[in-house]
Chains A and B, each alone.
Chain A
Amino acid sequence: MAAEAKDRSGWLRWLLVAIPFAWLLIFFLIPFFNVLKLSFSTRARALPPYKPVFDFADGIAGFIAKLQQLTLANHLSLFTDPRYVEAYLSSLKIAAISTILILIVAYPIAYGMARAPREWRSMLVMMVILPFWTSFLIRVYAWIGILGNEGLLNGFLLWLGVIDQPITILTTDWAVYIGIVYSYLPFMILPLYATLEKMDETLLEAAADLGCPPIQAFWKITFPISLPGVVAGCFLVFIPITGEFVIPELLGGSGTKMIGKTLWYEFFNNRNWPLASAVAVVLLLILVVPIVLFQNAQKASEAK
């Protein structure tokens, strides 16, 4: 009986482990390999708009023949055509600047939340999460109403008398940055809040006791201790911003180059599925490789 129970628990454990792996396989790995395969294909005026199209009826010889039709041309063209290189670099630049801006805005908010009276804290966290209850798309649209020439912001500035003519914010990079900072702020605030809230405030008293005034104590104690939250928050915003499409499309102008827009254009307007897939695969590599290297470095420094 004992052996039977053990068998059953072994089987159950296997099932529990298998479920998340099956999920990853079905909803992540299979689509990813599909995109990867597409990126090696060639454009075709047909349905679907690429070749070769693999079929179980091909047989082994047919399969090998079709494999030989796969090409690296799409990937190579990304590096030879300056438009793509520029879009990648511009995306990384916008993501990097936005990440820094978000960190600067989010840190004081998270700090204030973590030092607020305990009974307020859950309400403050709630207020940070509250915007998620409205569709992301609608919130970005709302910014058009705020940033436009006849928008709320220009109206307010004109009323204040700071400006005498509406300034163009919408369709500039400024609008893109404002939209990105607004949209991604909670993803930075929450991990920062989590690390700052855990911090023992006696540490600051100890620092003061040892001759450290409050501002220095922030840089020597609070900030280093909150670094794991800073790193987590930066990853959480940098990665999706790099591939962002909706915000530059709605708030930016034709001058705003981002790889998400390029991808959309190649896929839907040019119907060049293979090239669009190559754009996506290269973007993934650009993001994944440095992250893996960083995490290895961090593990090594922790083990030391």
Chain B
Amino acid sequence: MVGPAIGPVRRAFAPWNDPSAKPFIEFRNVTKRFGDFVAVKDLSLKIYEREFFALLGPSGCGKTTLMRMLGGFDEPTEGSILLEGKDLVGIPPYRRPTNMMFQSYALFPHMTVADNIAFGLKQAGMPKADIQSRVDEMLALVKLEKFARRKPHQLSGGQRQRVALARSLAKKPKVLLLDEPLGALDKKLREETQFELMDLQMNLGMTFLIVTHDQEEAMTVADRIAVMNNGVIVQVATPAEIYEQPNSRYVADFIGDINLIEGKVASAGEGGTRLACAATGATVETNQTLTAAIGDEAWFAIRPEKMRISRDAPADPAVNALAGEVWDIGYLGDVSIYHVRLPTGATVKATITNATRLVERPISWEDKVWLTWSRDAGVVLTR
């Protein structure tokens, strides 16, 4: 089951593209106000069964409030939240079929690891023998069999994180809510745990909803990401779409590194888009079909790794090319980041993979260089 099968299965999984698919969780025009502050603004969102869904955004964007409303810890001011078609509004958290893994883990300090995991099962009135076998199963799942009798304060941060995970999974919730689950772990452990979470979600076939401010984490684990800002969703898409086809400058800038070049639409339509960038003197052409009027303000967004850097002038220096001077080089080992200063004073970043060791770097500080890119390398954004 595990192993090679996962890849293809995972790639085929895209219920959001199927118009007949029924959403598992649905937020319908949800608004949440705390006094004067609007945490979530008229938000609608559909999440499908077995999906690993990420809510991504800076702190205060409303992502945690949205999750807490699904868990029942906050009630929406307006709108409804449906799980399998049933409205959850008004149902207290202790009667909801969701479980949450808290950012602080919230392990009960006076109980052992086993008692923590058994807590929800006991509440549900499960027979003793079943509780025991379920707890053992959970301990094995998170590889903490030897720690069953320990108290939370006798565990390391990583172990506590796994107890919290086991506790929230023990009741086999319909949806598992993960509130910044890996925030307290160091980088290496965090990366390992991200892959463990993905495997776990695949094997258990459960719906996971994760809240995070870490874009790499969201990109790694999630089937789809909702990028949030100021209580609204800016874009919902797969990690690759979010990265390659951001729908706005906000998303483009929030995920990864990007160059934004301002310009005016010169032509748009079926054949492609042409953008005149007066400030940099460049003309950008893409294959994109853009719906915009000629003369509209727009931005060309291109990732640094999609730029080519060269000393030689391209065949057509008038289109998809910029001339500049190397201002700074950041050597990161695997890649080098070139900061190229344009004659206008703006800086453009280009990343070069260091594919071989000990090259005589042909391009150095203060070199005059040309930056070029293909017609598919970037996108034109109108907002």
Contact = CB atoms under 8 A, between A and B. Distances in A.
Interface of A: 200, 202-203, 205-213, 216, 220-221, 224-225, 227
A209 to B, nearest CB: 5
Contacts, number: 61
B282 to A, nearest CB: 52
A295 B375 CA distance: 78
B93 A205 contact: yes
A206 B99 CA distance: 9
Given A210-B99, A213-B94, A200 B104 contact: yes
B72 to A, nearest CB: 8
B168 to A, nearest CB: 8
Contact of A203 (B99, B106, B171): B106
Nearest to B100: A209
B104 A202 contact: yes
A57 to B, nearest CB: 62
Contacts of A225: 109-110
15 contacts: A200-B106, A205-B93, A205-B102, A208-B72, A208-B73, A209-B71, A209-B72, A209-B73, A209-B93, A210-B94, A210-B120, A210-B171, A211-B123, A213-B92, A213-B94
B327 interface: no
A202 B106 contact: yes
Interface in B73-121: 73, 92-95, 98-100, 102, 104, 106-110, 119-120
B174 interface: no
For chain A, what secondary structure do more than half of its interface residues adopt (helix, strand, loop), or is it mixed? Answer: helix
B341 interface: no
Contact of A221 (B71, B73, B104, B108): B108
A213 B168 CA distance: 17
A212 B102 contact: no
Contacts of B108: 203, 206-207, 221
B92 A208 contact: yes
Contacts of A205: 73, 93, 100, 102, 106
A209 B109 contact: no
Contact of A212 (B100, B104, B119, B168): B119
A200 B93 CA distance: 18
B94 A208 contact: yes
Interface residues of B, number: 24
B167 interface: yes
Nearest to B109: A225
A200 B71 CA distance: 18
Contacts of A206: 100, 102, 106-108
B12 interface: no
B94 A209 contact: yes
B124 interface: yes
A209 B99 contact: yes
Given A205-B73, A205-B93, A211 B106 contact: no
Contacts of B72: 208-209
A216 B125 CA distance: 14
B179 to A, nearest CB: 10
Given A202-B102, A208-B92, A211-B95, 17 more contacts: A203-B108, A203-B109, A205-B102, A205-B106, A206-B100, A206-B106, A207-B94, A209-B99, A209-B120, A210-B119, A210-B123, A211-B94, A211-B124, A211-B171, A212-B119, A221-B108, A225-B109
Q: Which of B93, B102, B104, B124: most chain A CB closer than 10 A?
A: B93
Nearest to A210: B120
Given A205-B73, A205-B93, A212 B123 contact: yes
Select the residue from A206, A212, A227 with max chain B CB neighbours within 10 A: A206
A212 B94 contact: yes
Nearest to B119: A210
Nearest to A216: B123
Interface in B218-275: none
A194 to B, nearest CB: 16
**Best-surrounded residue of A210, A216, A225 (most CB of chain B within 10 A):** A210
A212 B171 CA distance: 13
Nearest to A199: B109
Nearest to B177: A209
Contacts of B95: 211
B162 to A, nearest CB: 16
A210 B73 contact: no
A206 B72 CA distance: 11
Contacts of A211: 94-95, 120, 123-124, 171
A54 to B, nearest CB: 54
Nearest to B103: A202
Contacts of A210: 94, 99, 119-120, 123, 167, 171
